[in-house]
Structure 1
Amino acid sequence: MAPYPNVLVGYDGTTESDRALRWAADEARLRRLDLVVCHCWRWPYPISHIDYDIEETVKKMGRHLLDRGADRAAHLAHSVKIHKRLMDGPAYAALMHESPEAELVVIGSHEQDELPVGSTALQLPARSRRPVVVVRQAAAAHERVVVGVDGSRGGDAALAFAFEEAALRRWSLEAVYGCWEPGAVAESELALFADEEELARSCGGRLQRAVAPWRDKYPQVQTRTSLVMEGPRTALLTAAARADLVVVGDRGTGSVDPLLLGATSSALLHHAPCSVAVVHAERT
């Protein structure tokens, strides 16, 4: 049995959550896992105005939405076992509660540049210890995964997830290293930025070493590497325009609050034109 025996998806009946449901159904089918469809209902008035009859009506509406989502999932993936979770409170909190048993979590999102502060699509990738896929509607189907490489533990975890995803979906993969980030390197490496050729040799070697074991493990995945003399955010946002999924670690080589995403991951969640997966390194 897999250590995390399901794919978890949040569903609220919107177009965005329907796209997430479709992606999650594909994941469950390809990974041969159960699919858990979660809907969160919320009391829409101040707690001091509780009316139990109205509360029951709100619950029934939530149950109806959940049933509709589960039926839709069963239609999308006939061979997958579907489970339903009706929960109350914020979607972020409910999905966090369910996520420890998930192989990955899938949620829908507004289009780029439209994510409100505090949205589930920002909070859940920052705090869940499981991979989170934030699904957007891409302009075209490229059948390509782009993954960010930077030599960090989060970057290595992103590579593992990206290669597995590319193999499952039979997509190609592009590993992108935006190496122009002097603010995130040790002081001993700052001199490299005065010699672009030496920087390219050093970072190019790091990129090839990071990708090599995954190329060996997944020889069927058509793989290319791209070393880019730009910051990682710019490099990955450019590459995301030709991808269906971009995969990043939760944080790179810079030092950030452990409860927050790194700057590159946050930028991609806000601005990437395709779906985004955020993968956390295993805790040691």
Structure 2
Amino acid sequence: MNGEERTRWPHILFGFDGTAENDAALRWAVEDARLRGIGLVMCHSWHWPYPAGHTDPDIEAIMKRAGENLLDSGVRRAYELGVPGAVRRRLRRGPVVEALLRASGGAALVVLGQSGEPAAGSVALELPARSARPVIMVRDAPAPRRVVVGADGSPGCATALGFAAEEAALRGWDLHVVHGCWEPGAVAESELALFRDRELLERTRAAELDGVVAPLRARYPDLRIEASPLLERPFDALWDAAQDAGLVVLGDRGTGFDPLGATATAVLRRAPGTVAIVPGRRSRETRTLASDRRVPARQG
């Protein structure tokens, strides 16, 4: 299981830290649990402040009790927000990312709070880069009733599109599929000629995007879907669309040295609202490489 805990009970895993910013994320997690008809598992991680090997049972007992009390307050808040069914708890010792990865084995998705621009090594960047589950980073910002998803024809694209369509349909929001298709450096040599004819490039990418979106239209006939092939760089296209989105969804498109990909990392850092990273083509080896090169994670 690679250290992951398997909880067969269908659930959303929520990382709870007790901060004011965390409350917006808890509201999102509770709503998602209600809409999906699944449970909620609340996880809190506490840190041992002393050097490795140092033991002090009394201090450890105090810190565990503080963590339990914090979880108790979080569970009470979840019930106030109308969470369906029971809320299960996970109290873990150690780094936040490691705790959430271990706890996420049976989760449908992971929800965390995020405020400000995440720094290198933060939970907001490290967890999506290593998680085998979708991770939603919730920002407490106005949420237009629209989901924006980036489409680029990569292997992980279909998974991200499916997740975005499901989330939009559950919430009764519109779906905007954006393809920033000005990427001459990322296409096969046989397609480079397209970039000498902008009209042909737009027609070609529009037809491809229609083919990608067609299964979503068939699966969700009541969902309003807009598909936009744009002659812009992927980040620029997504950045413009993100200004009018309650949720931006991206797949991973990276390598072992950049497991999220440049566009996903940039959007996750700078987007004004909530962002979901959906693992698609990321392999076990890629996640291992990301783990090998990680730096200690920080909240925020």
Q: Given the superposition, is the C-alpha separation of residues 95 and 191 from structure 1 closer, same or farther in structure 2, using an over 3 Å criterion?
A: same
Q: Quick one: distance in 1 between partners of 2:15 and 2:281?
A: 24
SS in 2 for 1:246: strand
**1:1-284 mapped onto 2 (5 Å cutoff):** 5-47=10-52, 49-111=54-116, 114-138=117-141, 140-251=142-253, 256-257=255-256, 260-281=259-280
Per-residue CA distance 1:166-214 (angstroms, 9 max, x = gap):
0100001100000001111111111111110111011111111111110
SS in 1 for 2:103: helix
- Tell whether the 8 Å contact from 1:32 to 1:80 is kept in structure 2 after alignment: no
Q: Quick one: distance in 1 between partners of 2:78 and 2:183?
A: 43
SS in 2 for 1:110: coil
Q: Quick one: distance in 2 between partners of 1:194 and 1:281?
A: 31
Q: Quick one: distance in 2 between partners of 1:205 and 1:54?
A: 63
Q: Quick one: distance in 1 between partners of 2:88 and 2:63?
A: 21
C-alpha deviation, 1:143, in angstroms: 0.6
C-alpha deviation, 1:9, in angstroms: 0.5
Q: TM-score, normalised to structure 1's length?
A: 0.93
- Tell whether the 8 Å contact from 2:12 to 2:111 is kept in structure 1 after alignment: yes
SS in 2 for 1:100: coil
- Tell whether the 8 Å contact from 2:174 to 2:225 is kept in structure 1 after alignment: yes
When structure 1 is superposed on structure 2, of 44-53 and 169-178 the one drifting more is 44-53
C-alpha deviation, 1:227, in angstroms: 1.5
Q: Quick one: distance in 1 between partners of 2:50 and 2:243?
A: 42
SS in 2 for 1:124: helix
AA aligned opposite 2:93: D
* TM-align CA RMSD: 1.8
- Tell whether the 8 Å contact from 1:9 to 1:38 is kept in structure 2 after alignment: yes
C-alpha deviation, 1:155, in angstroms: 1.2
SS in 2 for 1:157: helix
SS in 1 for 2:17: coil
C-alpha deviation, 1:282, in angstroms: 6.0
SS in 1 for 2:232: coil
- Tell whether the 8 Å contact from 2:30 to 2:83 is kept in structure 1 after alignment: no
Per-residue CA distance 1:23-71 (angstroms, 9 max, x = gap):
1111111101010000001112323554321221111111111111111
Q: Quick one: distance in 2 between partners of 1:259 and 1:196?
A: 30
When structure 1 is superposed on structure 2, of 274-283 and 118-127 the one drifting more is 274-283
Identical positions, percent = 52
Q: Quick one: distance in 2 between partners of 1:151 and 1:277?
A: 18
Q: Quick one: distance in 2 between partners of 1:209 and 1:259?
A: 29
Q: Quick one: distance in 2 between partners of 1:213 and 1:123?
A: 32
When structure 1 is superposed on structure 2, of 115-124 and 256-265 the one drifting more is 256-265
Q: Quick one: distance in 1 between partners of 2:223 and 2:128?
A: 26
Mind listing any 5+ residue stretches in structure 2 that lack a counterpart? Answer: 1-6, 284-300
When structure 1 is superposed on structure 2, of 182-191 and 239-248 the one drifting more is 182-191
Q: Quick one: distance in 2 between partners of 1:283 and 1:45?
A: 36
Mind listing any 5+ residue stretches in structure 1 that lack a counterpart? Answer: none
SS in 2 for 1:25: helix
